[in-house]
Amino acid sequence: MQITGNDQAPLGVLLASNGLGITNSFTASTGTLTLSGMSSLANYQTILRSVAFNTTIAANTLSRTLRFTLNDGLESSSLVTRIVVLT
């Protein structure tokens, strides 16, 4: 998962829960959150639902573009892009 639009790296951060056999790491310079580990689809869905965006820029409500790609160890999914509006 990567922040690609209107982010002012390294000020925007994607946060996710650890657990359920899944670990996460965030690379501020690229705005990329990586989830990894052997776990079920349901557990990955739970962790993905926990993802939050945080920024240190006061009152910055610009929309952000998030890009998602999944890999099951054999193949990568198609790229999915979503616009997130901050309020």
Q: How confident is the model at residue 22 (pLDDT cuts 50, 70, 90)?
A: very high
Domain span at 29: 2-84
What pLDDT digit, counting tens, does each position of 40-84 carry?
989 999 998 898 888 777 656 778 888 889 888 899 999 999 888
pLDDT score of 39: 92
Structural domains of the chain, count: 1
pLDDT score of 11: 67
pLDDT score of 9: 59
User: Regarding beta strands 64-68 and 2-5, do their DSSP bridges make them parallel or antiparallel, or are they unpaired?
Assistant: antiparallel
CA distance 35 to 43: 11
